[in-house]
């Protein structure tokens, strides 16, 4: 039980850290008026950390996840890992390395197109799962959902892309922070219950 509680607490912290990193990264790019190496580096770290957050959300909802929550976990984790690979290549391009052939190769083209889409779908499904199950924060899930939709709209916002993605990231970031805090509380509550039974 202690190991399970420690895993939940760790996932809660990862959710909080991931949320902070998401909001910070896109804010840096917005205020720099362009995509920056530091912004991309922070997004890269955020997506690595958020893999643990997805598992924490799934564990906190336990047997209530069903198909919606489990599919959201799978798509979110796979999408997040693909996004980290794409961002890694983009970080190299920001420093002046020629990466066009890597991103446009026949195998990588579909990955670059569908990887972020998997992450977005995973986020939406996880948010809907939280809203339906009523185990974790309604407001955390609502912020995740709204932030994800706003962020996705940024890709078609043209000159307003940096602003829209920053707003979406801040909403998502706050959502992850709220959920991470609650996951930590859930772990503490379970630990207290376990101690009182012993």
Tens-binned pLDDT, residue by residue, of the chain (198 aa): 566 788 888 999 999 999 999 999 999 988 888 878 888 899 999 999 999 999 999 988 888 888 989 999 999 999 999 889 888 887 877 666 666 666 666 566 677 778 889 999 999 999 999 999 888 989 999 999 999 999 999 888 778 888 999 999 999 999 999 999 999 887 776 665 555 555
Match 């376990």 to its residue by tokens.
194
pTM for the full model?
A: 0.87
What's CA 99's distance to the chain center, in Å?
25
Residue 60's closest CA among 198, 193, 187? 187
């Amino acid at each position: 039980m202690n190991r399970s509680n420690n895993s939940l607490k760790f996932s809660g912290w990862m959710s909080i850290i991931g949320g902070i990193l998401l909001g910070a990264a896109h804010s840096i790019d917005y205020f720099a008026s362009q995509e920056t190496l530091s912004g991309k580096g922070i997004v890269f770290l955020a997506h690595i950390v958020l893999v643990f957050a997805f598992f924490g959300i799934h564990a906190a909802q336990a047997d209530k996840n069903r198909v919606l929550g489990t599919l959201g976990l799978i798509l979110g984790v796979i999408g997040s890992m693909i996004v980290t690979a794409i961002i890694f290549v983009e970080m190299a391009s920001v420093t002046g390395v020629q990466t066009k052939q890597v991103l446009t190769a026949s195998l990588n083209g579909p990955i670059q197109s569908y990887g972020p889409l998997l992450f977005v779908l995973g986020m939406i499904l996880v948010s809907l799962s939280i809203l339906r199950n009523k185990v974790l924060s309604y407001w955390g899930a609502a912020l995740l959902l709204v932030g994800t939709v706003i962020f996705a709209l940024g890709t078609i916002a043209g000159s307003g892309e940096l602003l829209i993605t920053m707003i979406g990231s801040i909403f998502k970031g706050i959502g992850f922070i709220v959920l991470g805090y609650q996951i930590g509380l859930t772990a503490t509550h379970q630990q207290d219950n376990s101690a009182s039974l012993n």
